Chains A and B, each alone.
Chain A
């Protein structure tokens, strides 16, 4: 399998495991090694869990991206859940409305190179993360 893009449907907690394994495989294909693979898999695990916990279901799209001759992994997590009313607060460590440590979003941002979040109450949340191969 050398597909350049994969979609993982997130419906229950078992899908979280699948999403991070697919992410790891694709990252390996790009040439990431060692600790970077673990950082990527962990970040995917966090945002996938966010979907399960807050939205119930959604998708994670994994693909290879390129910028200035650098290759990287692009992760797009999308759900049509309740959305996040205060993104700034949600990005602060320790803030959580669900039953978690509140590290999911701010923590994932630390694990990846780029992190964007777009959320509208009642319409859902999209998280875009990238990690560049140094």
Chain B
């Protein structure tokens, strides 16, 4: 089950469905890297609101997506982490230091647009 990637102007939006497998996530990482190059995208938004679990693998993959994205000149925002999921991640010891997060897609895109460099610093 591939994760759909939507292109809107200079933004790529990936919406994770409930319970993606490790393979789905790895595939997403590869496809995003390719499309950023192809479309010269500036912003990548990954919507995880459908996920009921973010374990260490999923978190690590999202982190490496964010890093790979930055190398290609775009910035990543992770949106829609659910309250229970956020709490479980913290308990597990997982963070997303240096990666932007936002409540939902609208907030995430507004946040990235509001940054002088379109979010290239990645810090708050």
Contact = CB atoms under 8 A, between A and B. Distances in A.
Interface residues of B, number: 23
B53 A20 contact: yes
A100 B60 contact: yes
Contact of A111 (B54, B85, B91): B91
A41 B53 contact: yes
* Chain A interface extent, by class: 20 to 34
Nearest to A34: B84
A101 interface: yes
Given A107-B91, A110-B93, A42 B55 contact: yes
Contacts of A114: none
Contacts, number: 76
A37 B23 CA distance: 24
Nearest to A107: B92
Given A13-B23, A35-B84, A101 B53 contact: no
B55 A39 contact: no
Contacts of B93: 93, 101, 103, 106-107, 110
Interface of A: 13-14, 16-17, 20-21, 24, 34-35, 37-39, 41-42, 45-46, 49, 93, 100-101, 103-104, 106-108, 110-111
Interface of B: 19, 21-23, 52-57, 59-60, 82-85, 87-89, 91-94
7 contacts: A14-B21, A14-B23, A17-B21, A35-B84, A100-B56, A101-B56, A111-B92
